[in-house]
Structure formats: C-alpha cells, structure tokens
Amino acid sequence: MVAIALIVAAKFGLPILIVRYPFVAGWANFVLDSVDGDLLIPLGLLNEVYQPVDKVTDWVTYVAIVVVAYRDDWPIRRLMLGLFAFRSVGQVGFLLTGNELLLALFPNFLEPLFLVTVTILAFERVVRRAPDWRDRGFAVLSRYRWLIGGSIVIYKLQDEYFTHVANVDRSDFLRDLLGW
C-alpha cells in the first residue's frame, strides 16, 4: 500500500515540477507514465481505480505544459493550448463514460510536442551553449515542423491504438510479430 501511495504521489508531483524544471520533470514524468500501470496494478491497485487516477494525473501534466508554454511566451503556445483542449475532450469523455475509444479519437499530441520542444531547447542551451538558444531552438522546430509533426502524429496514433483500442502490450506484439 505504501508503494502504491508513493507512485501515485509521484504521478501528481512530477507534473507539478514540470513548471519549474520542464526538461527533467517532463521526461521523468513520461517514463513514470510509461511504466506506472505495470507497477501499480501488480501491487494491487484495481484497474478501475488506476485508469481515472492515470487520466487525472495526465491532465495535470497537460495543464503544467500549457503553463510553461504561456509563461515562457513560446511561439507555439496557442498550438499547445489547442492540443490541450483537443485532448481534454477525450479525457473528460473517458472519465464520464469509461469508453477508452475516446482517448484514441482525441490523441495526446501535446505531450510529445512538449518533450521535443524542451529537448531541442535544452540542446541549444546546454550542449551548443548558444547565447540565442531560445530563438535557435524555435527556429529548428519551425524548420523541421512537418517532420516533427508527422513523427508525433504517427507515434501517437500507434500509441493510442495499442493502448486504448487493441489493449495490447507493445512488447508482446513485437515478440509475436517477430516470432521470438
């Protein structure tokens, strides 16, 4: 029970930390969100409890992302707000009906866009040590917007399908596909 409480607390705490530490907390939150079900359900948390907790903490993440985009005056902040509203329709619909198909019909494009953005900005600031790191980072995003956007769409559509439509673990799918 203590382990469940700690993981759930982390699921709420990491999204809040995104506001202060977008890159580190954003990626840590992504990793936790990728494995939380594999941890919480075997520990005894019922799926009927896990799903709403997961969707509420996801929504807290989305709010933190929009806060960062507006606070830091990102050129893509309106796009991020639109993606937040779009995904929120699916989140609220799922919470009200329990129908996972709504999550697949309103994919989460916001979080991968955020992670790509903070990664590019961190690269320009920390690795390249560019004095105009912010401008350079958003120039990269703009220059490669179709590649980045297309990659995010493809990634999220398959992710939402496997997670909310087929309800298949990707590891099992790949193992079966490759005959391992």
DSSP characters for 113-175? HHHHHHHHHHIIIIIS--TTHHHHHHHHHHHTHHHHHHHHHHHHHHHHIIIIIS---HHHHHH
pTM for this structure? 0.91
The DSSP string of 21-48 is -HHHHHHHHHHHHHHHHHHHTTTT--HH
Over its length of 180 residues, how does the chain's per-residue pLDDT go in tens digits?
899 999 999 999 999 999 999 999 999 999 999 999 889 999 999 988 999 999 999 999 999 999 999 999 999 999 999 999 999 999 999 999 999 999 999 999 999 999 999 999 999 998 889 899 999 999 999 999 999 999 999 999 999 998 888 877 766 777 777 777
Domain boundaries, the chain: 2-178
pLDDT at 138: 96
pLDDT at 173: 73
